[in-house]
Amino acid sequence: MSDYTMTIDGKAEAAKGTFGVINPATEDVFARPPECTREQLDAAMESAQSAYKAWSKDEAKRRQTLLDIAAAIQARGQEIAPLLTQEQGKPVDKAMQEVFGAAIWFQYTSSLQIPIETIQDDATRRIEIRRRPLGVVAAITPWNFPLMLAVWKIAPALLAGNTVVIKPSPYTPLTTLKLGEILRSVVPPGVVNVVSGGNELGGWMTSHPIPRKISFTGSVATGKKVNVSAAPDLKRVTLELGGNDAAILLADIDVKATAQKVFWGAFENSGQICSAIKRVYVPEKLYGSVVEELAAIAKTVKVGNGLEAGVQLGPLNNKMQFDRVTELVDDARKHGARVVTGGKRIGPKGYFYEPTIVADISDGTRLVDEEQFGPALPVIPYRTVEDAVERANATHYGLSGSVWSADPEKAAEVARQLECGSAWVNQHLAIAPNLPFGGAKWSGIGVENGPWGLLGFTEIQVVNVAKA
């Protein structure tokens, strides 16, 4: 039960206190990782600070280390994936994709250049625009893609020359602790420290005097607290927060083919993706057939324990999230919406919820207006495309969105009007290591991934050399 340790200064670190991690498929506590104390957090921060000097100096070594980390993750993939399934709930083949995706992210990031721009170089003067690392990065992650979202922070932070203290969600700490354990033999002591604990530990990190940057992924409500907590020391922040992505279907779509893609854009990872489709706008004349098609797909999906073969969707990750989805669907029902399929829990144990399609619903209902983050999709009729765009934009969220049409250029015209960080055409969740990902409005500050994400772990330095 207690063979999980934190990684502080390159060494395994237990703690007096522990906390329980629940397998969402069984509701059993199956592991008890350490509850980091304030003194242990101080030790992790101090270790990261003392490792920074040497680490920030040798770019070639950092590049090679990222490749070594990728290889180490690949070598341990078979061991990490079932652990991810047990702590998070996702089917083991998807867990495997996350693990190997994490390795690919490290490989890709190792190839990025840290730009040096020479904007003048003549007899009188040389002016270089350089990028310096920031120092210690405090990274905080959520429970839906615990490993991948940790890597989105660790890989660019390290390449840029920073050192890291990372805290995973208390619901899914195990794969990140395991990553720390793997890294002990790959990175120098102090370069990556992994601590585990509850929300309070997150607060200690964001207000700690050592970090110069907070890289946070989680909910809007917590993101706002993080921003406030980081402000007194003028720490840099990147916030990747929640979304309420709209998919707008245009009148010329192939209903069957589009419904299939829209369904998986909404239900992948049991809907627990920041940039999953969370509401679908459908032209009135196609409304009945789209609702029917989505419901037909929902009925075929195999939901179950992610360790079992053939399971397509696992449980919700935790009781709070399960209760939230239940509450939002019940609220929609109470306000006259039609639950076409699904709408209740599956079985007596585990946080399993039926893939749910809700029709005859509109904006102003909580299931449409709020982020459900679960397997329940509201389908909303619209009259004009202008109206659909206006409703899609009438929210504080602005993470991503998509427009679907037989004519991709026509759809792109509409997609450009969406107030969000990623506007997709005839696809959703098109996330890749070389593309910036981030939110508009309350969905975040800054971006992750690609050269743009890397620059977020640096600050500009102008070196201006007067020669004569």
Q: Which residues are catalytic?
A: 240, 274
Residue 240 has, within 13 A of its CA and on its CB side, a CA count of 26
Q: Report, in Å, the least distance between residue 224 CB and ligand NAD.
A: 9
Q: Report, in Å, the least distance between residue 66 CB and ligand NAD.
A: 21
Q: Taking Cα atoms as reference points, which of 113, 111, 165, 108 lies closest to residue 135?
A: 165
Query: Does 439 sit near ligand NAD (CB under 6 A)?
Result: yes
Dist CA 437 CA 442 (whole Å): 14
Looking at 99, 134, 140, 294, which residue binds ligand NAD (CB under 6 A)?
A: 140
Three-state DSSP class for residue 454? helix
Do 241 and 439 meet the contact criterion of CB atoms below 8 Å apart?
A: yes
Between 150 and 259, CB nearer to ligand NAD: 150
Which of the ranges 105-113, 200-208, 248-256, 323-331 carries the binding residues for ligand NAD, by CB under 6 A?
Answer: 200-208
Pairing of strands 458-466, 125-133: antiparallel
Do 136 and 211 meet the contact criterion of CB atoms below 8 Å apart?
A: yes
Pairing of strands 356-359, 458-466: unpaired
Using CB under 6 A as the binding criterion, the count of chain residues that bind ligand NAD stands at 29
Q: DSSP per residue over 145-172, as a string?
A: SHHHHHHHHHHHHHHHT-EEEEE--TTS
Q: Report, in Å, the least distance between residue 384 CB and ligand NAD.
A: 29
Q: Report, in Å, the least distance between residue 442 CB and ligand NAD.
A: 10
Looking at 164, 183, 241, 316, which residue binds ligand NAD (CB under 6 A)?
A: 241
Site for ligand NAD in 253-292 (CB under 6 A): 274
Q: Report, in Å, the least distance between residue 74 CB and ligand NAD.
A: 24
Which of the ranges 31-39, 65-73, 111-119, 138-146 carries the binding residues for ligand NAD, by CB under 6 A?
Answer: 138-146
Query: Does 442 sit near ligand NAD (CB under 6 A)?
Result: no
Q: Helix (H) and strand (E) counts for the chain? A: 15, 20
Query: Does 133 sit near ligand NAD (CB under 6 A)?
Result: no
Between 24 and 283, CB nearer to ligand NAD: 24
Pairing of strands 136-140, 125-133: unpaired
Cβ-closest position to ligand NAD: 202
Between 149 and 164, CB nearer to ligand NAD: 149
Query: Does 361 sit near ligand NAD (CB under 6 A)?
Result: no
DSSP3 helix / strand / coil % (the chain, rounded to 5)? 40, 20, 35
Do 128 and 457 meet the contact criterion of CB atoms below 8 Å apart?
A: no
Dist CA 427 CA 108 (whole Å): 23
Query: Does 371 sit near ligand NAD (CB under 6 A)?
Result: yes
| Strand ranges of the sheet holding 245-249, from the earlier edge strand across to the other edge | 338-341, 356-359, 376-382, 277-283, 245-249, 400-404, 422-425
Site for ligand NAD in 54-93 (CB under 6 A): none
Looking at 109, 206, 270, 458, which residue binds ligand NAD (CB under 6 A)?
A: 206
Which of the ranges 107-115, 211-219, 291-299, 326-334 carries the binding residues for ligand NAD, by CB under 6 A?
Answer: 211-219
Q: Report, in Å, the least distance between residue 462 CB and ligand NAD.
A: 32
Dihedral sign, CA of 80, 82, 87, 91? Answer: positive
How does 244-275 read in b/e, with b if 16+ C-beta sit within 10 Å?
bbbbbbbeebeeeebbebbbbbbbbbbbbbbb
Between 163 and 169, CB nearer to ligand NAD: 169
Query: Does 143 sit near ligand NAD (CB under 6 A)?
Result: yes
Q: Taking Cα atoms as reference points, which of 359, 287, 301 lies closest to residue 329?
A: 359
Between 19 and 132, CB nearer to ligand NAD: 19
Which of the ranges 40-48, 118-126, 218-226, 307-315 carries the binding residues for ligand NAD, by CB under 6 A?
Answer: 218-226
**Residue 337 DSSP label:** -
Looking at 13, 240, 245, 293, which residue binds ligand NAD (CB under 6 A)?
A: 240
Looking at 161, 218, 374, 381, which residue binds ligand NAD (CB under 6 A)?
A: 218
Please report where in the chains the tokens 């604990």 appear, as a residue: 197
Between 271 and 350, CB nearer to ligand NAD: 271
Between 29 and 320, CB nearer to ligand NAD: 320
Dist CA 233 CA 272 (whole Å): 33
Site for ligand NAD in 379-408 (CB under 6 A): 399
Between 222 and 341, CB nearer to ligand NAD: 222
Site for ligand NAD in 153-192 (CB under 6 A): 167, 169-170
The neighbour count for residue 456, using CB atoms within 10 Å, is: 25
Residues that bind ligand NAD (CB under 6 A): 140-144, 149, 167, 169-170, 199, 202-203, 206, 217-219, 222, 225-226, 240-243, 274, 371, 373, 399, 439, 444
